[in-house]
Structures are given as structure tokens and as C-alpha cells.
């Protein structure tokens, strides 16, 4: 993915990306102080916010192959299971039930499969949202500080799952996190942001 001459102004804030190359199939971390524009960048890169100027070359990826995990996951008024398979439902793909159970089991949510999703704890919601992002095998996954609120064990589990995905069919990950987060250790490249710009690495 290549981002060139991109600009996005929201209120007093201005995001400016002259030239940024995100090597495909790798795990990229984005770190920087509060308010430096990480979320605005991610939303713009995901196509949720329209840039005022500039271009994003997804190198052949379509919007259906891109997903974003938000800091506060949006869940629908239905069961854990229905929320999980939603990306498949809208793509008219029949879920592989054994695979669904395997995924839920892996994060310890199998017992809550039929439970109302909105009754899950915040960490459980993030686990569900993570599985929902993985279930349709996207090629580009953007993660907005989702992993920062997890307990160390869950964070380790997510890292393990990310590496498992990378072994099978490499995905491009853009993971916004904090400077000292453990997840940085599995990143191929860390991109530093400050005041709406990327620092040269
Ligand atoms: N809808 C909006 N209206 C006005 N200003 C906004 C809006 N959205 C974001 N901003 C401003 O843009 C700047 C960048 O915000 P952003 O959420 O991208 O920061 P961040 O790096 O993700 O911060 P944090 O680490 O605190 O999550 C902030 O100063 C914020 O106040």
C-alpha cells in the first residue's frame, strides 16, 4: 500500500503524509503520542474518512478485502455467534461451523456462543471483534488500539493468533498501539507519528 501527498484536515487538526509505503503481508505498528493523528490516519487509510487531497494505492486490494477493528467494537443486538459470522452473512458465504467453534474455543468464548453479544465484558467484546475481523480472511487489517486494553495473557494470545495467520496466508496489518506495548515485538516495521506526520524511520 502506498500513500502519497495525502492531506486530511478535521477542525484544527491536519494529517499530512508525503510518502508512506506499507509493505504488504507484514505486521506494521503505528505509534505516537495522544492526539497525534493515529486514528484519523487509520480511518483515512481504511477509506472511512475521505482525504482532502492525495491518493492511496491499495495495490489491487478491494474494499471487501479490508477491515478495521475499532477501539470500541461495534456489536449488533444479537448473539455472539451471529455477530461473529456477520461478515460471512453479508458476503453470502456459508460458515464452516467447526472452524467457527474452533475460533471461539481459542479465545475462550465457545461457552458464550449463544449469549447476547452486548452482555460481554469489554475484553470479551474485543476478542469477538478480533475473530469477526479474521473470519472472512481479509488481506488488510487495521487495528486501532484494540489490543491495548487486554490483559497480558490475552495480548499474548492475540499475538500468537496474528502470527498463526501470517504463517498460513500473510495479511497486511496496521496496528496502532503504544510505544511500550508488547505487540511491537512482532512488528516488522514501526512507523512513528507526531503532530499529524510520520517521522522518517
Ligand atoms: N471529528 C473531529 N472533530 C474535531 N477534531 C477531531 C475530530 N476527530 C479527531 N480530531 C482531532 O484530531 C487530532 C487527532 O486525533 P486522533 O484520534 O487521530 O489521535 P490519536 O493519535 O489516535 O490519539 P490517541 O492516542 O489519544 O487515541 C486530535 O487533536 C483530535 O482532537
Ligand 1 centre from 82 Cα, in Å? 32
- Residue 18: pLDDT band (50, 70, 90) is very high
- Interface confidence (ipTM) of the complex: 0.96
Average pLDDT over residues 31-42: 94
Q: Could you tell me which residues are beta bridge partners of residue 140?
A: 66, 172
Q: Are residues 20 and 191 in contact, defined by beta-carbon separation less than 8 angstroms?
A: yes
What's the number of domains the chain is made of? Answer: 1
The CATH number of the domain where 156 resides is what?
3.40.50.300
H or E stretch at 56: strand 53-57
Residue 116 sits in which domain range?
2-198
- Which is nearest to 45 in space by CA: 168, 188, 193? 193
Average pLDDT over residues 171-188: 88
Question: Mind listing the pLDDT tens digit for each residue in 88-146?
Answer: 999 999 999 999 999 999 999 999 999 999 999 988 999 999 999 999 999 999 999 87
H or E stretch at 159: helix 152-168
- Residue 201: pLDDT band (50, 70, 90) is low
Ligand 1 centre from 122 Cα, in Å? 22
Ligand 1 nearest atom to the CA of residue 178, by list position: 25
Residues 132 and 84: their CA atoms lie apart, in Å, by 5
Of 6, 8, 13, 199, which is best to mutate to test ligand 1, by the most ligand atoms within 8 angstroms of its C-beta?
Answer: 13
- pTM of the predicted model, to two decimals? 0.92
Is the pLDDT at 17 greater than 90? The verdict is yes
Question: Mind listing the pLDDT tens digit for each residue in 39-98?
Answer: 999 999 999 999 999 989 999 999 889 999 988 888 999 999 999 999 999 999 999 999
Ligand 1 centre from 161 Cα, in Å? 29
pLDDT at residue 71 in the model: 81
Is the pLDDT at 148 greater than 90? The verdict is no
Q: Are residues 129 and 73 in contact, defined by beta-carbon separation less than 8 angstroms?
A: yes
Strands 189-194 and 172-176 come out as unpaired
Task: Give the SS3 label for residue 55.
Answer: strand
Amino acid at each position: 500500500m502506498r500513500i502519497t501527498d495525502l492531506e486530511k484536515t478535521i477542525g484544527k487538526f491536519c494529517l499530512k503524509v508525503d510518502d508512506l509505503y506499507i509493505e504488504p503481508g507484514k505486521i506494521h505498528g503505528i505509534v505516537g503520542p495522544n492526539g497525534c493523528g493515529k486514528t484519523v490516519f487509520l480511518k483515512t487509510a481504511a477509506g472511512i474518512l475521505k482525504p482532502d487531497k492525495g491518493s492511496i494505492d491499495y495495490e489491487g486490494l478491494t474494499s471487501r478485502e479490508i477491515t478495521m477493528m475499532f477501539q470500541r467494537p461495534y456489536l449488533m443486538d444479537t448473539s455472539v455467534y451471529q455477530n461473529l459470522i456477520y461478515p460471512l452473512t453479508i458476503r453470502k458465504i456459508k460458515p464452516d461451523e467447526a472452524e467457527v467453534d474452533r475460533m471461539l474455543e481459542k479465545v475462550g468464548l465457545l461457552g458464550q456462543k449463544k449469549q447476547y453479544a452486548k452482555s460481554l465484558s469489554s475484553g470479551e467484546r474485543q476478542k469477538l471483534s478480533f475473530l469477526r475481523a479474521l473470519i472472512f480472511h481479509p488481506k488488510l487489517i487495521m487495528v486501532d488500539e484494540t489490543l491495548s486494553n487486554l490483559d497480558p495473557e490475552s495480548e499474548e494470545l492475540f499475538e500468537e493468533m496474528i502470527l498463526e495467520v501470517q504463517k498460513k496466508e500473510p495479511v497486511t496489518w496496521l496496528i496502532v498501539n503504544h510505544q511500550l506495548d508488547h505487540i511491537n515485538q512482532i512488528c516488522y516495521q514501526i512507523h512513528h507519528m507526531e503532530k499529524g506526520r510520520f517521522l522518517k524511520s
